[in-house]
Structure 1
Amino acid sequence: LVQAFSNTVILQTDRTHMRTNEIEFWCILGDPHTRPDATATYLVPFKGHRLLEVSQGFNGRFSHAQEPQIHAVDIAMPIATPISAARDGIVISIKNNYSYAGTNSGFFLDKANYVQVLHEDGTYAIYGHLLMGKIDVAVGDKVKAGDLLGRSGNSGFSTGPHLHFVIQYNDQGTMKSVPFRFIQSDGSTVKPKQGMWLKPSR
């Protein structure tokens, strides 16, 4: 256990699964005092000329029933659909090296390619299951809402091609998700629900 001068825990070891001379470290991203901006707006995170369906919404039974995924959405889409930033931010993490998908094993749970974008209120968006080799941003890049991030795919724990989108934050050391509404290209705002068809962003 390591503590800062303020007695805030910044590093913790888990000895329950340790072998001799082996230490596992884990952390939760973000400021534990983050308070999500309730007025923040989010563009629909894909581009194109067609409507796409929300295949799993908030509290979805398949994989959105627990935090930090309760307020995640899955949007079914063809592979290589352009994925765009829903909100201004800075790219803080990417994964761009996996090409397979499956749900028959926990092996796939951490394999999805993704882009992670930090927002000014301390929350961060995850754009998941992207196409390997088709991420167009790098860590440290500043992005504006609507900027291209990459192309959709079918990587990791996935039953088919789709985009997994979620906004998360650090709440006193617990990772939580944030409910949100999308702004569509016609200016309307919607709470994404399973079976809903979304208009692409501008």
Structure 2
Amino acid sequence: RWLVDPESSMEMLRLAALENNAVPGADYRYLWIPGDPRSAHEPGRPYRAPFAVAKDHRISQTFPIGITHTTPDSYYAVDIAMPIGTDIYAARGGLVFEVASTNFRGGMDPERDGAAANIVRIMHDDGSHAVYAHLNWNSIRVRPGDRVERGEYIADSGNTGFTTGPHLHFAVLINRGMRLESVPVVFEGPNFVEVVPATGNTLVAY
């Protein structure tokens, strides 16, 4: 295994030169998982609700009542119901390392819709990263390599991928033994109080 630092490169494999008239060919497989497996989730302060200040939206699903959040990478995810086209802001600053923006439909067919969500992934300085999913078609305003600040506008919400209705899927993930696992998050409330997300509650952005 290799650990590659952000915004850097590393030579991992070199093929020897062929001799004589040998037919060239190679067979290889690889797996990459974002994040530092040695990291600990240390955000420093509560996360900013990922929409406009003074706006509020209902939490439609989160731990421990997670009907579709049954895998390690979604267990502590927070689904926030909101109309398509709602402005989405970074809940924490970091480095954008993955986006998908060309999907235009959503539904409940796992095979057709499971991998069809538009997303933004932002790496944090502690080695964790946030995923913002089900974003609207062609609405993403950042690209891999961009550094974004907390509260920066990054995209519009949508209804793409495996979804029962328009919402934002927000999760913070860490690399645990070459597997992504979600971690519990708290949001910032009035006077910097910590707000623990709960299904059915209304979340306000401060």
Instruction: Tell me the CA shift for residue 101 of structure 1.
Output: 0.4
Higher strand share: 1
> Per the alignment, do residues 171 and 105 of structure 1 end up closer, same or farther by CA in structure 2, a change over 3 Å counting?
closer
Instruction: Tell me the CA shift for residue 29 of structure 1.
Output: 1.6
The aligned runs of 1:83-122 (5 Å cut-off) are 83-122=88-127
The aligned runs of 1:155-174 (5 Å cut-off) are 155-174=160-179
The aligned runs of 1:11-26 (5 Å cut-off) are 25-26=30-31
For the aligned residues, what is the CA RMSD? 2.2
Instruction: Tell me the CA shift for residue 186 of structure 1.
Output: 5.7
Q: TM-score under structure 2 normalisation?
A: 0.82
The aligned runs of 1:40-119 (5 Å cut-off) are 40-47=45-52, 49-119=54-124
> Per the alignment, do residues 114 and 148 of structure 1 end up closer, same or farther by CA in structure 2, a change over 3 Å counting?
same
Question: Which among 170, 176, 193 is matched to residue 181 of structure 2?
Answer: 176
Deviations 1:16-40 (A, max 9, x none): xxxxx98664322222212211644
Conservation of the 8 A alpha-carbon contact between 1:42 and 1:180: yes
The alignment status of 1:191 with 2:175, answered yes or no, reads: no
Deviations 1:165-190 (A, max 9, x none): 00001012221111110013664321
Deviations 1:30-85 (A, max 9, x none): 22212211644210011165321000012433221220111101000011101000
CA distance in 2: counterparts of 1:198 and 1:137, whole angstroms = 25
Which residue number corresponds to residue 123 of structure 1?
128
CA distance in 1: counterparts of 2:110 and 2:53, whole angstroms = 33
> Per the alignment, do residues 35 and 48 of structure 1 end up closer, same or farther by CA in structure 2, a change over 3 Å counting?
closer
Gaps of 5+ in 2: 3-11, 14-25
> What code does the residue aligned with 2:35 have?
G
Deviations 1:128-179 (A, max 9, x none): 0000111111111111110001100000001110000000010122211111
Which residue number corresponds to residue 152 of structure 1?
157
Conservation of the 8 A alpha-carbon contact between 1:48 and 1:81: no
Q: Percent identity?
A: 35
The alignment status of 1:143 with 2:154, answered yes or no, reads: no
Conservation of the 8 A alpha-carbon contact between 2:43 and 2:126: no
CA distance in 1: counterparts of 2:47 and 2:97, whole angstroms = 18
Number of positions where the alignment pairs a residue of Structure 1 with one of Structure 2: 185
3-state SS in 2 of match to 1:107: helix
Conservation of the 8 A alpha-carbon contact between 1:54 and 1:73: yes
Deviations 1:89-145 (A, max 9, x none): 011110000010011333211110011000000000000000011111111111111
> What code does the residue aligned with 1:91 have?
V
> Per the alignment, do residues 41 and 49 of structure 1 end up closer, same or farther by CA in structure 2, a change over 3 Å counting?
closer
> What code does the residue aligned with 1:69 have?
S
> Per the alignment, do residues 152 and 39 of structure 1 end up closer, same or farther by CA in structure 2, a change over 3 Å counting?
same
Question: Which among 33, 36, 40 is matched to residue 41 of structure 2?
Answer: 36
